[in-house]
Amino acid sequence: MTEDYVSAVEEEIFQIRSRLGELRRKKAEYEEEASRNIEKRDKVHERIKEIKEKNAAYLERVSSLRNEIAELRAKLDEVVAKINEMRAEKEKLFS
């Protein structure tokens, strides 16, 4: 009976060690996958950072262009007002 008991215990130990080895392999696989996912995430975050920087530069340029357009419109309004003023003076002279 003790020999059967010892044999059963040894079999159980073997199964536990086998299961432990399997779990260690799975753990290593998960850690490797997690490492790859972290690398992917870091690359995505870096790309997002680059896009945000470019976007900020584009927004700054658009803002600058809008300001320039507003200035040119103001100058155009001044020129149109001056032309209208000169036309009015011309009308006065010829009337």
Enter the tokens of residue 91: 């009308």
Using alpha carbons only, give the angle 14, 19, 25 rounded to the nearest 5 degrees: 130
Structure tokens at 94: 């010829």
Residue range 58-78, pLDDT digits in tens: 999 999 999 999 999 999 999
- The sign one gets for the Cα dihedral 76, 77, 82, 88 is positive
Sign (positive/negative) of CA torsion 53, 54, 58, 64? positive
Three-state secondary structure call for residue 41: helix
* Residue 56 in this model has a pLDDT that exceeds 90: yes
pLDDT digits (tens, 9 = 90+) for 2-55: 988 889 999 999 999 999 999 999 999 999 999 999 999 999 999 999 999 999
- The pLDDT score that the predictor gives to residue 94 is 86
- Is the predicted pLDDT of residue 1 greater than 70, yes or no? no
